[in-house]
Structure 1
Amino acid sequence: MRAALGGASALGVAGGSSHWLPESEGVELREITLGELLRERARLHGERPAIVFDEPHGICRYTYRELDEAVDRLAKALIAIGVGHEARVAVMAANSPEWVLLEYALARIGAVVVTVNPAFRRAELDYLLKQGDISLLVAAGEHRGFSIAGMLADMLPDLAALDGGERPAGGAYPALKRVVQIGPATIAGALAFEHLLERAAETSDEMLAAREAAVTPAGVMQIQYTSGTTGKPKGAMLTHRGTVNNALLAGRRVGYLASDVMVSAMPFFHTAGCVCNVIGMAAVGGCLVAMESFEASRMLDLLERHRGTIVNAVPTMYVRLLQDERLAAGERDLSAWRIAYVGGTSIPPSLMLELKARIGCDPAIIMGMTECSPIITQTLPDEPLEEKVGNAGVPLPHVEIRIVDPATGAVVPIGREGELQIRGFLVTAGYYAMREATEAAIDAEGWLKSGDLAVMDAAGHLRIVGRIKDMLIRGGENVYPVEIEDRLLDHPDIAEAQVVGVPDAEFGEEIFAFVVARDGKTIDPDGLKSWCKETMARHKMPRHVAVIEATPKTANGKVRKVELRDLARTMIEEGRA
């Protein structure tokens, strides 16, 4: 374990304060754009596999050389249809080869990819198109049975008559010039992706080179909209420098190799997919086997077929993988799998220990947020397993963090809860067209206020204990829902747990726990309360327990606790909890 370092000029933990001063760990930040990174990988690893989509409906593979060439072609086509420097291009589709090409090609010409969850409905897309000043929308015509094409026909009544051309100025979306279609489902009036590629011949090599030369590492590469659990969603602007270095440093810490094969279903519209997976593998010259969507048995099939060495997933996905019948029967060959990469607010240590015991892969646990490109802290691979699974690691190189009293702003002593704040290359350039929100989140010295309640130990390990807005006070005791959620997730029959506070005449607030059972399991609320009595402090025990089929989530996959609070109050009023 790393020793605490004292003194104002030292690196690591500053004396007895919860303040981690940035370490370089012997590696410098790279001043490089994403387009340059791909060119570099193509030179060094030209014939190595870069991206594989092995779906039931077909297989698509790119070596690094082929990927670089395909990106050049798409970049030229985008220039030909008028996509300018810093133009904002929204991509609304599930994971696909076209998504990866767009991520690289837009970065190469200095445009900005704006990620859109394909599950968005009209109100959500309407807000994003307007607030983000989107000039080009690239969309799939259908997603999981929902007609995006039909929604766009309602939103853009002039689209059907355009035949792939530009929209006239004005209307509800004055910045939106064109719609491009990905995939087989037709969007009437949109330019088909294959026809877009035909436009590449209109752009010379010299024109592409000039556009590429104008792109800088400090430039905005993508905009990721926050989930909007409170207030309007905000578009976090992430730079080439922030995302590329984040992927490089995270991969270096965990020990990624050029021979690695990552199998993952993390969505590209989230930083876990487009940064940690796409850029993370490119950073070392490894191969990403990307899934269009998660399905446990198929992911295990792909791990066997492609000799996968890394999985990036959230805890609920790992739960599903471990429930696979063929895995339980000892019929899976997962001997190549060596790293289980995982992030999230509740990562049960018992789940990580089970992965290690049954499969042999080592857990790599991270704490991140969209505004930080995204990874802030990550576990150290050489630490003892039992210690490693109980925290979110220490900051990446060149990252500074501190934990402050939310009321006073003063740095708190080691071991005391406070708000996590972050500073460094990874912090967002701000929220697009939201100056007040940016100034509220990032102070004049560059510190980003996370809104997370955290604790730092003497060696710099970070542990998230909750959200400031989620903390509840029961009988004068501060209670952090995430601590109770973590404990509930140790129960062998629970796949998901969420805790909220509800008003109580005696204690001010009481604890209400919602749980989702693992497949094939049933949970008795009274029995769970008895289990809680044996495993947690009295003031943390849930007074109310409800078993539900699924937790309500935002389009970006974050739990909507406001809905759970409303549901909890309703269930109490009706005597159902």
Structure 2
Amino acid sequence: MAASAPSYASGTATTPLLGETVGGNLERTVATHADRPALVERATGRRWTYAELNRDVDAVAAGLLAAGVAKGDRVGIWSPNCAEWLLLQYATAKVGAILVNVNPAYRAHELAYVLNQSGVRLLVSATSFKTSDYRAMIDQVRPDCPALDRVVYVGDASWDELVAGGAEVPADAVRQRLAQLSPDDPINIQYTSGTTGFPKGATLSHHNILNNGFFVAELQRWTHEDRVCLPVPFYHCFGMVMGNLGATSHGACVVIPAPAFEAAATLRAVHDERCTVLYGVPTMFIAELNDPDFDRYDLSSLRTGVMAGSPCPQEVMKQVIDRMGMREVTICYGMTETSPVSTQTRVDDSLHRRVATVGRVHPHVEVKVVDPESGLTVPRGTPGELCTRGYSVMLGYWEEPERTAEAIDAARWMHTGDLAVMDEDGYVTITGRIKDMVIRGGENIYPREIEEFLYTHPDVLDAQVVGVPDARYGEELMAWVRLRPGAEPLTAERLREFCRGRLAHYKVPRYVHVVDEFPMTVTGKIRKVEMRERAVEILGLDAGTAGDTASS
């Protein structure tokens, strides 16, 4: 019997990589599709053709030059989805500034860390959104952010002043700066939750993100006729790379249904704008399918899209294909550090492939599955750690060479920390995680970051955080805590109150379990596997129970 092939796959492709900057690519698209629709913002009714989009991008870029933004300077963006987010994305790319994405759910503690760690000089922010008063939080942290020279707020006079300042620079200044840029220059920093208690800034180049966005769209067979509905956040690769860059590299139109996800607004946008493409994590599609007015919307224009962020239940995939008409919907797998996509299903893959796997290797990318101990590639069908290599691997973590070296080995393989199996046809199934990352509703959460924060609670002696199953979000957070002697009982509500306003909402534990000791191995290591197993029993989740539970 022949030995099984090694779990290695290389993404051969007839379409070459793009060897240009983000700004250069946009200008090439504009030259071909100047009069075609480029951007629709549903909340305000504003619309841009490609010529109009490029004009406004250049105006913002000129404003950045007038503000003294140099190549390599960091410009932050802290806002839910809006047209200005996209304008700033391309304007910073044209002047060679590094766009620093700040999660709209962050609170003051996280904001201050990101601004200081990346050295943001100019921050563009919303004034507020939902319960977040961005202006107040910026005022709170600004004295502790010495590099921050200027704050500009979308929708008020400061944004208009930034743009108007561009009139002071020569007409060809943006072109001149663009000509000085290389595709390999860093252009974007995206923060991922870190195991050291603070997020790490994955630093990405023009080459990284332009090509990844382009090939994600290529595998969905996009053309300039496509209209792309993006309810996913721009601060994440899903929105700004797979969405925005996928669209502009193909001359397609971006439709922003709302500042943040709303099922009804998304369905209405598809209906009114005749969108052909829809993105989302499984929880978004579930919400759309369960919208009480679902049957009133005409979704017949939909053809394809991407579902990513967490595994897709088979019944949900069936309904997305049958009820939403997305016959060519694809599944993507990746991580911020790989720009993000490494594997993707194809538009003609079977239903089974789309729910049981995360597809096969992307064009111009390599993937392999290795034994975590020896580092050797395992035979197909054997579980191991998934690694990926190619143009998409980040430049590194911003100013953290030691953390970079832990993630990217000497041969430039990115170690994902995910356990995977590759089948004989090259399709990859994710079976677990070596790291203890929790995926809640598409958000990647590293428990260590939350544990470090919980240690600041005056009654908490020690804390461990694990993910537990949840029907709606895939996983929810459960904190196991040891209390200091004489401390008052700690309920889930009391802990949530402590976290509120200081941690992003999705990082706040839903459940609390007070213990005297944690399960440990004989060598003193915390047994999180056992904690997760016991959590299911404690919370009655195996019986379908889900509620705000505190136990002791």
TM-score range, shorter chain: 0.7 to 0.9
CA distance in 2 between counterparts of 1:40 and 1:471 reads 40
Tell me by how many angstroms 1:500 deviates.
8.6
| Contact map agreement 1:514 1:546 (CA 8 A) in 2 | no
Taking the TM superposition and a 5 Å limit, the aligned residue runs for 1:260-299 are 260-290=226-256, 291-299=258-266
> What percentage of residue pairs aligned between the two structures are identical?
36
Aligned-partner SS, 1:371: helix
In structure 1, distance between residues paired with 2:73 and 2:97: 5
| Partner amino acid, structure 2, of 1:27 | T
- Structure 1-normalised TM-score? 0.78
Kindly tell me: are residues 146 and 500 of structure 1, through their superposed partners in 2, closer, same or farther at Cα, counting changes over 3 Å?
closer
The match for 1:548 is: 547
Q: 1:407 aligns with which of 368, 373, 396?
A: 373
Map of 1:390 onto structure 2: 356
**CA–CA separation in structure 2 for the residues paired with 1:89 and 1:15:** 50
1:20-39 to 2 correspondence within 5 Å? 20=9, 22-39=10-27
Indicate conservation of the 8 Å contact 2:120/2:148, yes or no.
Answer: yes
- Return the letter of the residue paired with 1:131: Q
Measure, in 1, the Cα distance between the counterparts of 2:222 and 2:535.
Answer: 37
Counterpart residue identity of residue 84, structure 2:
E
Which stretch shows the higher mean deviation, 121-130 or 340-349? Answer: 340-349
Output the CA distance in 2 between the equivalents of 1:135 and 1:69. Answer: 25
Q: Does residue 1:452 correspond to 2:388, yes or no? A: no
Residue 441 of structure 2 corresponds to none
Q: How does 1:69-148 map to 2 (within 5 A)?
A: 69-148=55-134
Q: Does 1:347 align with 2:335?
A: no
Aligned partner of 2:290: which letter?
Q
Q: Which amino acid aligns with 1:103?
A: Q
Relative to structure 1, is the Cα distance of residues 245 and 80 closer, same or farther in structure 2, using a 3 angstrom cutoff? same
Distance 1:60 1:305 in 2: 14
Pairwise CA distance, 1:148:
1.4
Letter in 1 for 2:326: C
Describe how 1:14-413 pairs up with structure 2 within 5 A.
16-20=5-9, 22-55=10-43, 58-156=44-142, 172-184=144-156, 192-228=158-194, 230-290=196-256, 291-327=258-294, 330-362=295-327, 363-413=329-379
Q: In 2, distance between residues paired with 1:96 and 1:420?
A: 35
* Unaligned stretches of 5+ residues in structure 2: 439-465, 481-517, 522-526
Q: After superposing the two structures, state which structure 1 stretch, 290-299 or 368-377, moved more.
A: 290-299
- Counterpart contact for 1:499–1:514, Cα < 8 Å: no
Residue 547 of structure 1 aligns with an amino acid whose one-letter code is A
Q: What does the per-residue CA deviation read over 1:352-372, in whole Å, with 9 as the maximum and x for residues that have no partner?
A: 112112222122100010001
Partner of 2:507 in structure 1? Answer: none
Q: 1:346 to 1:514 in 2, by over 3 A?
A: farther
Shift >3 Å, 4+ stretches? 499-508, 510-515
1:359 counterpart SS class: coil
Aligned AA (2:99): V
Q: In structure 2, what is the Cα distance between the partners aligned to 1:240 and 1:75? A: 16
TM-score, normalised to structure 2, is 0.81
Amino acid aligned to 1:495: R
Deviation at 1:496, TM superposition (A): 3.0
Q: Greater shift after overlay, 232-241 or 494-503? A: 494-503
Cα separation, partners in 2 of 1:357 and 1:89, compared to 1, 3 Å: same
Q: Taking structure 1 as reference, are residues 19 and 42 closer, same or farther at Cα in structure 2, changes over 3 Å only?
A: same
The answer to whether the 8 Å contact 2:185/2:205 transfers is yes
* Alignment partner of 1:509 out of 524, 530, 535: 530
Q: Report deviation, 1:417.
A: 1.2
Contact 1:24/1:398 (<8 A) preserved: yes
Residue 512 (structure 1) shift = 4.1
* Partner of residue 534, structure 1: none
Counterparts of 2:118 and 2:203 in 1: how far apart (Å)?
A: 11
Deviation at 1:546, TM superposition (A): 4.6
Aligned residues of 1:141 and 1:181 also touching (Cα < 8 A): yes
Q: Which deviates more from structure 2 when the two are superposed, residues 387-396 or residues 217-226?
A: 387-396
**Contact in 1 for aligned 2:142/2:148 (Cα 8 Å):** no
Shift of 1:430: 0.3
1:393 is aligned with what amino acid? G
1:195 counterpart SS class: helix
Change (3 A) 1:488 1:177: closer
2:275·2:301 contact (CA, 8 Å) conserved in 1? yes
Classify 1:357/1:196 alpha carbon distance in 2 versus 1 (closer, same or farther; 3 Å). same
Contact 1:498 1:513 in 2 (8 A): no
Q: Is the contact made by 2:282 and 2:310 (CA closer than 8 Å) also made in structure 1? A: no
One-letter amino acid of the structure 1 residue matched with residue 530 of structure 2? E
RMSD value, Cα: 2.8
What corresponds to 2:450 in structure 1?
none
Cα deviation, 1:511-543, whole Å, max 9, x if unaligned, reads: 54989xxxxxxxxx87x746xxxxxxxxxxxxx
The amino acid of 1:62's aligned partner reads: W
Per-residue CA shift, 1:84-119, capped at 9, x if unaligned? 000011111111111111000000011110000122
